[in-house]
C-alpha cells in the first residue's frame, strides 16, 4: 500500500464538506472542503459527527489523516453567522455537538493525524488538538487562537488541550495575545508535533500513517488506551463543555457583538485580507 | 496607546525599590531598581506585596510588565543577610510574605509578563515563574537556581513551577546542577516562553502587552481563570510554603552557614565577579 | 576530583554485564557491557537490581552515571529469547524484577544521569527514562520504541514516563509510529534533557556529575524529594506493572510470535543490519 497508488475510493460525504479517500481498508484520509475559507459551520460539524459514527462502526480502520483542499485555510474558524444552528444536545454524553465530535476524535479506537497547510484558528486548532498527532508546513501554516481579540475565550477545547502540551505560560501567550503564530513557534510550543518544509511534509505523514496501517490493531489500541489512561484520559468533555458555555455567555454580550459587527464590516468570514491577517487586524482594532 | 508615547505617570513607590510607569490605565510597567545588583530583600518583597494590594484594588488595569533598571541583574537572588527581616506570617493565607506575593501574582486578575535582561537567579527566577509569561534577551539574560550549591534547595516556588513547564528531568538538571543557563536553553526547557535578540525583545513584549491592554477585560479574565482551573490552579501556596520551610531548615545548618560565609568572603551579595559568574564559582567551591 | 584522574576502582560485577567505576566515594559510573549489542537480558536486569541494593546501602554516594562500552548500542532492547527467565515477583512491592529496578532507580536517594551513544530502544529507553536526567550524542544516538511494530506495546515504563516529558501527541508518534528518532528530535520532544555533539557530551556530563558530587547530600536529597513530590511521585510502579502485564499478554498471541519469528530470521537480536536499522525493517515488514 502506498499513497501514490490509486486509492480504493474517493467520495464526498453527502451534505457535508468532507471528502473521504480510502487508501486502504486500514488507512483513510478525510479532506476538509468548505470553500472559500473552510469555515467550521453546522455542515462540517455534523459531517464530522457522522464520520465518527462510521469510524466507530468500522472494524478494519487503523489510521485516519485529516487535511484540507484549500492550502490557505485548513480551517479558518467557527462560523459565527450560522453557529446558532448547531444542536445544543448531541451524542451520548448530553453535550453540544462540537464537544461530542472533539471527544470522539480524541478517544477513537483509530489513530488520528492532522496535516496542516494554511490558517488554522479557533475551532480549527481545537479540531487538530483533539487528534492524536499534528504536523504542519513550515512555509504555509499559520496558527491562532484569536477569540480573546473578539471579546470571547477559546471555548472548544484549547483551554483543555493546550496547557498540557505547551505549558501554562505559552498557552496564556497564545490565548490572551490573540495573535497568529508560525509553524516553527507552534512546534517550539508543542502545539504541533513537528513542522516540516512543505516539500517534506506529506512524505513524513504518509510514511507514518502507512506504517501504522500495517501494524497490528490490538497493539495500536492497547498503546493508545494505555497512553490515554496515563494522561488521566485527556481533556474531560464536561470541562470542554464548561468552557464552551463560557464562550457563548461572552458571545451574547453587546460588546462582543459590536466587535464581531466591526469585523464583519471589514471582511470577516469572507476571503479577504482581514481573514488572511486576522491576528494583525485584531491588534489594530484593539489599540487604535 | 503606545509605549513610545509619553506615559501617564512614572512614580517610585515610597520606601520600595520599584518604579511604576503607567503607560495607560490598563497597562502598567513595574521596574525593579535595587542597586547595585537588584537583590530581593525585605523592601522589594514588601513593595511587591503593596503592589499587589494596589493591583487587586484597580478595576481598569489589564496587563503588567515587570522589568529591571539594571541590565546585568534582573534579580540577583534573595538577600541572605537581611532575609531574617521578612515577616513570617503575612497576607490572608497565613503564609510567609514571599509566598503570599508569589501566589497573588500568579492568581491576579491582570496578566503579568516578565522581560528579563541580566541575571535572574533563585527568588528572581521564582518571581518570573509566578508571572503568566516570560521573555528574555538572548545576549544578556542568565538563569540560575544555585541554591543546592549553597547547601539549600530552591524554596520559593521553583520546585512547584518548573517541573510543570520543563518536565522533571530538566528541572532536576537546573536544580541539582546549580549552574547558570543561557536564555536559549531557558527557552528550550520552557523556563521562559521565548528568547529574543536584545534588539527585538522590547518590541515583541510591548506589542503583546499593548494588544492585551486593548482587549476586553471579561474575555481576558475568563481566559486566565479557565486556564488556571485546567492546570489545577497551578502551584499550591501551601506546597510553596512547605518548600520554603525546608529552605530555612537547610539554611540554619552550620554547613550551609559555612558555605555562605565562604561566598561572602569572595564577594557574594556585592557587584563582583563572584555574583557575575556565581554558577562557575559554586562549582569551584564544590570540587576543589 | 576529576574524571580524568585515576578512578578509585574499576570492577566488573560478578555474573552481571556491568562495570562499576568509582571516580570518588560520591561519584560512580556504571557501564553496560553485554556484547555484541547490549541486549537487556536476565543478567543485566538482575545486575541492576543488585546495583540498587548496593546504592541504597551506601551512605556517601551522591551521583551515578550510566553509559555503555558499546558506542553503537547503549541498550538494543529486551532479550525476547531469554525474557522468560526473569523473576515474576521480585523486590518489596511484589512487582516483576524490571518494574522493581525501574522504580528504585527513579526513587533512589542518589542522582542518576544516563549518557547515551548508539541505539537505545524499548527497555533501554525505559531505563534511561527512569534516571533523573539523560544526555545524548547528536552524531551517534538513536532512540526508538518499536514495540508496536512487533505487535506489542511499550510496557516497561515508557507509557508512564514519556507523556509527562513529551506530551501525549509526541509520545503517541513515538509509540504507534514505532520508528527510530535522532538525538535532535529526542531533545526537541523532551525524551532527553539535551543532545550534545559527541566531542562535547562527556565534558558536559562529567562537569555536571562532578559538581553534584561536591554538593551537600542533604541539599541534593531534599531537592530530589521535593521535585518528586511535586510531580506526584512520578510514575506509579503498579501502573508500570499493569503496562508490563499488557506487554506479555500481547506477546503471547500467535500474531506477535509470528512477527518475532520473522524478525529472528532476518537477524533480530544479533549484530546485523536488522538491529542497526530496526525501525526501517519494521516498516518494511508492516507495509509490504
Q: Which residues of C touch B150 (CB under 8 A)?
A: 219
Contact assignment for C219 to B147 by CB distance below 8 Å:
yes
Average pLDDT of the segment spanning A170-192: 98
Length of chain A in residues, anyone? 288
End-to-end alpha carbon distance in chain A: 56
Residue B101, domain member (yes or no)? yes
Q: What pLDDT is attached to residue A288? A: 76
| pLDDT at residue A105 tops 80 | yes
Residue C207, domain member (yes or no)? no
CATH number of the structural domain spanning residue C240: 3.90.226.10
Q: Which residues of B touch A243 (CB under 8 A)?
A: 226
Q: For C262-280, how does the pLDDT look when each residue is reduced to its tens digit (9 = 90+)?
A: 999 999 999 999 999 999 9
Q: Kindly give, in sequence order, each residue whose CB lies less than 8 Å from that of residue A133, ignoring residues fewer than 6 positions away.
A: A111, A112, A113, A114, A193, A208, C169, C170, C172, C173
> Which of A 36-95 lie inside 8 A of C, CB atoms?
none
Whether the CB of A227 is below 8 Å from some CB of chain C: the reply is yes
Determine contact, residues C161/C145, Cβ cutoff 8 Å: no
What ipTM, to 2 d.p.? 0.97
Q: Residue B249 sits in which domain range?
A: 9-287
User: How much is the pTM?
Assistant: 0.97
- Extract the C-alpha cell encoding A203: 512524505
Query: What are the backbone dihedrals phi and psi of residue B155, each rounded to the nearest 5 degrees, phi first?
Result: -120, 10
Grade residue B48 by pLDDT with cuts at 50, 70 and 90. Answer: very high
Q: Which chains touch A (3 or more CB pairs under 8 A)?
A: B, C
Determine contact, residues A258/A152, Cβ cutoff 8 Å: no
Q: What pLDDT is attached to residue C85? A: 87
Distances (CA, A) of C265 to A66, C179, C286: 37, 20, 16
Determine contact, residues A2/A210, Cβ cutoff 8 Å: yes
What DSSP letter does each residue of B86-115 carry, written as one string? S-SSBTTTTB-HHHHHHHHHHH-SSEEEEE
Between A83 and C32, residue with greater pLDDT: C32
Average pLDDT of the segment spanning B129-157: 98
Average pLDDT of the segment spanning A25-46: 98
Task: Give the number of other CB atoms < 10 A from CB of residue C284.
Answer: 12
Whether the CB of B211 is below 8 Å from some CB of chain A: the reply is yes
Average pLDDT of the segment spanning A201-215: 98
Contact assignment for A176 to B222 by CB distance below 8 Å:
no
Q: What pLDDT is attached to residue B1? A: 43
How many Å apart are CA B255 and CA B149, to the nearest integer?
Answer: 11
Residue C45, domain member (yes or no)? yes
Q: Which of B226, B233, B234, B235 to mutate to test the interface with A (most CBs of A within 10 A)?
A: B226
Average pLDDT of the segment spanning A159-180: 98
Contact assignment for B159 to C224 by CB distance below 8 Å:
no
Determine contact, residues C122/C156, Cβ cutoff 8 Å: yes
Q: For C195-234, how does the pLDDT look when each residue is reduced to its tens digit (9 = 90+)?
A: 999 999 999 999 999 999 999 999 999 999 999 999 999 9
Residue C218, domain member (yes or no)? no
Looking at A75-120, list the stretches that DSSP marks H as alpha helix, in order from N- to C-terminal side: 97-107
How many Å apart are CA C11 and CA C21, to the nearest integer?
Answer: 6
Size of interface A-C (CB pairs under 8 A): 106
Whether the CB of C147 is below 8 Å from some CB of chain A: the reply is yes
User: Over chain B, what is the mean pLDDT?
Assistant: 96
How many Å apart are CA B209 and CA B26, to the nearest integer?
Answer: 10
* % of chain B with per-residue pLDDT over 70: 99
Radius of gyration of chain B (CA): 18
Grade residue B268 by pLDDT with cuts at 50, 70 and 90. Answer: very high
| pLDDT at residue B156 tops 80 | yes
Q: Where are the beta strands (DSSP E) in chain B?
A: 9-12, 18-24, 27-32, 63-68, 73-75, 111-116, 119-121, 133-137, 142-144, 180-182, 194-196
Q: Kindly give, in sequence order, each residue whose CB lies less than 8 Å from that of residue A55, ignoring residues fewer than 6 positions away.
A: A61, A64, A108, A110
Any bridge partners for residue B178, and if so which? Answer: none
Instruction: Kindly give the interhelix angle for B123-130 and B158-166, rounded to the nearest 10 degrees.
Output: 60
Residue C204, domain member (yes or no)? no
How many Å apart are CA B258 and CA C189, to the nearest integer?
Answer: 41
User: Over chain A, what is the mean pLDDT?
Assistant: 96
With H, G, I as helix, E, B as strand and everything else as coil, classify residue A18: strand
C80 to chain B, minimum CA–CA distance in Å? Answer: 29
Query: What are the backbone dihedrals phi and psi of residue A134, each rounded to the nearest 5 degrees, phi first?
Result: -145, 130
How many Å apart are CA A191 and CA A124, to the nearest integer?
Answer: 13
A68 to chain C, minimum CA–CA distance in Å? Answer: 20
- Closest residue of chain A to C148, computed from CA coordinates: A219
| pLDDT at residue A50 tops 50 | yes
Determine contact, residues B283/B183, Cβ cutoff 8 Å: no
Determine contact, residues B223/A153, Cβ cutoff 8 Å: yes
Reference B186, options B158, B153, B157, B220; nearest CA is B158
Cβ burial, residue B109 (10 Å; 0-12/13-18/19+):
middle
Residue B242, domain member (yes or no)? yes
Grade residue A1 by pLDDT with cuts at 50, 70 and 90. Answer: very low
Contact assignment for A163 to B231 by CB distance below 8 Å:
yes
Total structural domains in chain A?
1
End-to-end alpha carbon distance in chain C: 56
- Extract the C-alpha cell encoding A137: 508546513
Q: For B175-190, how does the pLDDT look when each residue is reduced to its tens digit (9 = 90+)?
A: 999 999 999 999 999 9
Q: For B88-117, how does the pLDDT look when each residue is reduced to its tens digit (9 = 90+)?
A: 888 889 999 999 999 999 999 999 999 999
Distances (CA, A) of C261 to A183, B264, C9, C229: 42, 67, 43, 44
| pLDDT at residue A84 tops 90 | no
Task: Give the number of other CB atoms < 10 A from CB of residue A44.
Answer: 24
How many Å apart are CA A106 and CA A214, to the nearest integer?
Answer: 21
Strands A27-32 and A18-24 turn out to be antiparallel
Residue C3, domain member (yes or no)? no
Reference B64, options B194, B208, B170; nearest CA is B208
Residue B1, domain member (yes or no)? no
With H, G, I as helix, E, B as strand and everything else as coil, classify residue C212: helix
Average pLDDT of the segment spanning A41-52: 97
Residue ranges for chain C with pLDDT beneath 70: 1-4
How many Å apart are CA C81 and CA C88, to the nearest integer?
Answer: 16
What DSSP letter does each residue of C74-143 carry, written as one string? EE--B-TTTGGGS-SSBTTTTB-HHHHHHHHHHH-SSEEEEEE-SEEETHHHHHHHHSSEEEEETTT-EE
Amino acid at each position: 500500500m502506498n499513497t501514490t497508488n490509486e486509492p480504493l475510493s474517493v467520495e464526498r460525504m453527502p451534505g457535508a464538506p468532507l471528502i473521504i479517500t480510502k487508501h486502504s481498508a486500514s488507512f483513510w484520509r478525510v479532506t476538509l472542503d468548505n470553500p472559500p475559507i473552510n469555515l467550521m459551520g453546522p455542515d462540517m460539524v455534523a459531517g464530522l459527527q457522522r464520520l465518527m459514527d462510521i469510524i466507530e462502526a468500522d472494524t478494519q480502520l487503523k489510521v485516519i489523516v485529516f487535511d484540507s483542499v484549500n492550502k490557505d485555510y485548513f480551517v479558518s474558524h467557527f462560523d459565527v453567522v450560522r453557529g446558532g444552528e448547531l444542536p445544543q444536545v448531541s451524542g451520548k454524553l448530553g453535550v453540544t455537538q462540537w464537544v461530542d465530535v472533539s471527544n470522539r476524535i480524541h478517544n477513537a479506537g483509530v489513530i488520528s493525524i492532522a496535516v496542516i497547510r494554511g490558517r488554522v484558528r479557533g475551532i480549527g486548532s481545537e479540531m487538530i488538538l483533539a487528534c492524536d498527532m499534528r504536523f504542519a508546513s513550515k512555509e504555509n501554516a499559520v496558527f491562532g487562537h484569536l477569540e480573546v481579540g473578539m471579546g470571547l475565550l477559546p471555548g472548544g477545547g484549547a483551554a483543555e488541550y493546550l496547557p498540557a502540551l505547551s505549558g501554562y505560560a505559552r498557552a496564556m501567550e497564545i490565548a490572551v495575545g490573540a495573535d497568529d503564530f508560525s509553524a516553527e513557534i507552534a512546534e517550539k510550543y508543542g502545539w504541533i508535533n513537528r513542522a516540516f518544509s512543505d516539500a517534506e511534509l506529506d512524505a513524513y505523514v504518509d510514511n507514518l500513517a502507512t506504517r501504522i496501517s500495517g501494524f497490528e490493531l490490538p497493539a495500536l489500541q492497547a498503546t493508545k488506551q494505555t497512553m490515554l489512561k496515563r494522561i488521566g484520559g485527556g481533556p474531560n468533555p464536561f470541562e470542554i463543555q464548561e468552557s464552551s458555555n463560557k464562550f457563548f455567555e461572552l458571545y451574547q454580550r453587546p460588546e462582543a457583538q459590536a466587535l464581531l459587527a466591526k469585523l464583519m464590516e471589514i471582511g470577516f468570514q469572507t476571503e479577504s485580507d482581514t481573514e488572511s491577517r486576522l491576528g494583525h487586524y485584531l491588534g489594530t482594532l484593539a489599540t487604535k
